Chain A
Amino acid sequence: NAGVTQTPKFQVLKTGQSMTLQCAQDMNHEYMSWYRQDPGMGLRLIHYSVGAGITDQGEVPNGYNVSRSTTEDFPLRLLSAAPSQTSVYFCASSRRLPSDEKLFFGSGTQLSVL
């Protein structure tokens, strides 16, 4: 029972570098999302997807891209990393749309941008 799997767990980048945070779920969930968590700020929604081929912006989308080519995978891309993107990133999924469905979270990726 893997659930929601995020890789890597830790990453250090230099300003301007690019990278992709991976997220995969094996529960056949329609809805997937990415959050970042900063001290005192709580979880902030970056992007979300309601199904394969459909993505939309959340509260803080600038600097991030996503795609959803399969039901299982929802990668988050940082095209040109900035120190302001230092944070803990969580991927989450739910069986259907999140209004009355609980979210299942991954264990997070701790990203530092120097």
Chain B
Amino acid sequence: SQKIEQNSEALNIQEGKTATLTCNYTNYSPAYLQWYRQDPGRGPVFLLLIRENEKEKRKERLKVTFDTTLKQSLFHITASQPADSATYLCALLMDSSYKLIFGSGTRLLVRP
């Protein structure tokens, strides 16, 4: 069955740098892939959705890419700020059903 892999180690970067987070999946390529942000003690909040034919999607300082050959999505935050510190989760459909599954998330720490 479909599995999602995100780097479990925290990403620690300096303010102003670009953060790049990785989401890999194992089986078939989904038509859509989503990214969420989660702060401690809160539910995840939707950030971006990218379709398989879009290759790249941008929203303000955020950029998502989707490479179906590599079975990978990259999530970039440019000009990072301490307020960007959070856990970032990717999600996609498990199979042809309506089961949206999540990766375990990568924690981002942005140092002032």
Contact = CB atoms under 8 A, between A and B. Distances in A.
Interface stretch (B39-47, B65-73, B76-84): B39-47
Interface in A87-107: 90, 92, 97-100, 102-107
Contacts, number: 68
A41 B104 CA distance: 5
A100 B53 CA distance: 13
A45 interface: yes
Contact of A43 (B44, B49, B97): B44
Interface string B15-46: 00000000000000011101010000111111
Contacts of A48: 98-99
Given A99-B32, A100-B49, A100-B51, A45 B44 contact: no
B93 A98 contact: yes
Contacts of B41: 108
B97 A35 contact: no
A75 interface: no
B102 A35 contact: yes
A33 interface: yes
A104 to B, nearest CB: 7
B97 A59 contact: no
A42 B98 contact: no
A26 interface: no
Contact of B100 (A4, A33, A107): A33
Per CB-CB distance, the 3 closest pairs between chain A and chain B, nearest first, are A105-B43, A42-B104, A102-B46
